[in-house]
């Protein structure tokens, strides 16, 4: 079997997605996601101009060899653009292998470790009461784990919460700056979670994303304040470039810590995992080199009792969610999967077998990934340039988004 054609499809059914479709001499095709929110065309060019010409004519069975060729052959290794592009090809090759062998991806990864992958959904509000109501609504729908974000009084627009006009937080054009005030945030979050916990009772798993906004000592204090809530995790408390900062958080609180949605190779998490400075790793198949690399990340983390809770915002396409479902079913140390529903048109462009029911994600039994792209429909949604925002603190300095 040989690869006969490989192309990139950029489409925007509600938001931008970059997809690779690989065709073979056997008439079987595979799909992979390479979406990098706000930088989609960089990945599309990397694929079209540099990687796809290298794979046409190769045997799609040799996934590991192709992965090594794409990773090492660039000389310039790692980075989000490179690793998303490699991931798109890698996942499409796993899809092809499953289809050729007539078996779902989870079966190629060692079979089932569980019957369903626990997911967490997002509850958010512009006011505390609204956020609590949303949590109760999702709990009633069967979700067993819910991430809670709420606009902090005094900060008008912020990460993970609806805008004043009711629209969900998203990448936009033009590029926007949002306000940020750490002191108000640190005062408000414990109050938010006390109200949520009182309303939900003890069993619901609660999560929160600080989205890289704090310093280590601020994060340590917040973690300590939230200990009686029993959070499932506090995510991205500090930016993860200086990783030793996580030692400070660890020394002060038992609130579990999740990090890593912006990581793209095992080297980005090596110290955090080896020193057991975190509890959950958020790396995802699309941003970390595909199934081939994420298997190695998971195996490494397992040795140190670090579990996976992969990134799954709606900017990761339904193709990545399919891959995550198979990976989560097969991989022993996957603890949870983020799940944010995709726009309705995206579900039409990417028809899929995976589903979420009663708080669990299952991949379905179709061979390969069980997801496809309707190319004709995709053409009706042209790419629309959009940027994630950035935050600016009350004193006028630039902060992290
Ligand atoms: O594109 C960036 C988003 O995916 C990210 O901001 C979402 O932090 C996020 C999360 O935890 O889902
Ligand atoms: Mg996050």
pLDDT, tens digit, for every residue of 25-77? 999 999 999 999 999 999 999 999 999 999 999 999 999 999 999 999 999 99
CA of residue 293 to ligand 1 center, whole Å: 21
At 68 the three-state DSSP class reads: helix
Radius of gyration of the chain from its Cα atoms, rounded to whole angstroms: 21
High-pLDDT (> 70) share of the chain, %? 100
Give the tens place of pLDDT for each residue, 262-273.
999 999 999 999
CATH number of 108-368: 3.20.20.120
- Among 122, 208, 211, 293, which one carries the catalytic annotation? 211
> Are the beta carbons of 144 and 335 closer than 8 angstroms?
no
| Pocket residue to mutate for ligand 1, from 261, 308, 400, most atoms within 8 A of Cβ | 261
CA of residue 390 to ligand 1 center, whole Å: 13
CA of residue 234 to ligand 2 center, whole Å: 10
Specify the residue with its C-alpha closest to ligand 1, atom 10.
313
Q: Of the ligands numbered here, which is closest to the C-alpha atom of 386?
A: 1
The overall pTM is greater than 0.95: yes
Task: Output the CA–CA distances (angstroms, integers) from residue 181 to 151, 264, 387, in the order listed.
Answer: 11, 29, 22
What residue segments make up the domains of the chain, in order of their start?
Answer: 3-103, 108-368
CATH architecture of 3-103: 2-Layer Sandwich (3.30)
Specify the residue with its C-alpha closest to ligand 1, atom 9.
313
Ramachandran category for residue 270: left, alpha or beta (phi over 0 → left; psi -120 to 50 → alpha): alpha
Give the tens place of pLDDT for each residue, 164-219.
877 777 888 999 999 999 999 999 999 999 999 999 999 999 999 999 999 999 99
Both tokens assigned to 131: 């956020």
Q: Which atom of ligand 1 is nearest to the CA of 211?
A: 8
> Are the beta carbons of 122 and 313 closer than 8 angstroms?
no
For residue 1, what pLDDT band results from cuts at 50, 70 and 90?
A: very high
Annotated active-site residue 211? The verdict is: yes
């Amino acid at each position: 079997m040989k690869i006969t054609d490989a192309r990139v499809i950029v489409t925007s059914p509600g938001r931008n997605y970059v997809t690779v479709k690989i065709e073979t001499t056997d008439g079987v095709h595979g799909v992979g996601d390479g979406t990098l929110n706000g930088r989609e065309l960089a990945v599309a060019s990397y694929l079209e101009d540099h990687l796809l010409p290298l794979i046409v004519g190769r045997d799609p069975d040799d996934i590991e060899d192709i992965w090594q060729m794409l990773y090492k052959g660039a000389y310039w290794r790692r980075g989000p653009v490179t690793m998303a592009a490699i991931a798109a090809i890698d996942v499409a090759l796993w899809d092809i292998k499953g289809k050729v062998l007539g078996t779902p991806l989870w079966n190629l990864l060692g079979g089932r470790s569980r019957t369903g992958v626990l997911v967490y959904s997002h509850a958010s509000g512009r006011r505390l009461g609204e956020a609590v109501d949303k949590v109760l609504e999702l709990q009633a729908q069967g979700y067993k784990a819910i991430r809670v974000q709420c606009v902090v009084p005094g900060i008008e627009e912020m990460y993970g919460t609806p805008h004043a006009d009711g629209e969900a937080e998203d990448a936009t054009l033009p590029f926007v700056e949002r306000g940020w005030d750490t002191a108000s945030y640190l005062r408000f979050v414990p109050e938010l979670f006390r109200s949520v916990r009182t309303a939900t009772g003890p069993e619901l798993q609660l999560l929160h994303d600080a989205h890289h906004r704090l310093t280590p000592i601020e994060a340590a204090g917040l973690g300590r304040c939230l200990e009686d809530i029993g959070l499932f995790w506090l995510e991205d408390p500090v930016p993860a470039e200086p990783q030793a900062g996580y030692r400070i958080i660890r020394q002060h609180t038992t609130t579990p810590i999740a990090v890593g949605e912006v990581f793209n190779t095992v080297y980005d998490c090596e110290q955090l995992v080896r020193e057991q400075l975190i509890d959950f790793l958020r790396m995802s198949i699309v941003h970390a080199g595909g199934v081939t690399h994420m298997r190695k990340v998971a195996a490494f983390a397992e040795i140190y009792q670090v579990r996976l809770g992969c990134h799954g915002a709606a900017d990761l396409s339904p193709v990545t969610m399919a891959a995550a479902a198979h990976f989560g079913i097969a991989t022993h140390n996957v603890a949870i999967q983020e799940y944010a529903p995709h726009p309705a048109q995206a579900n039409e462009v990417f028809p899929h077998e995976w589903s979420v029911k009663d708080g669990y994600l299952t991949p379905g039994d179709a061979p390969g990934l069980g997801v496809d792209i309707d190319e004709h429909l995709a053409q009706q949604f042209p790419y629309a340039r959009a940027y994630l925002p950035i935050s600016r603190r009350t004193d006028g300095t630039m902060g992290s988004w």
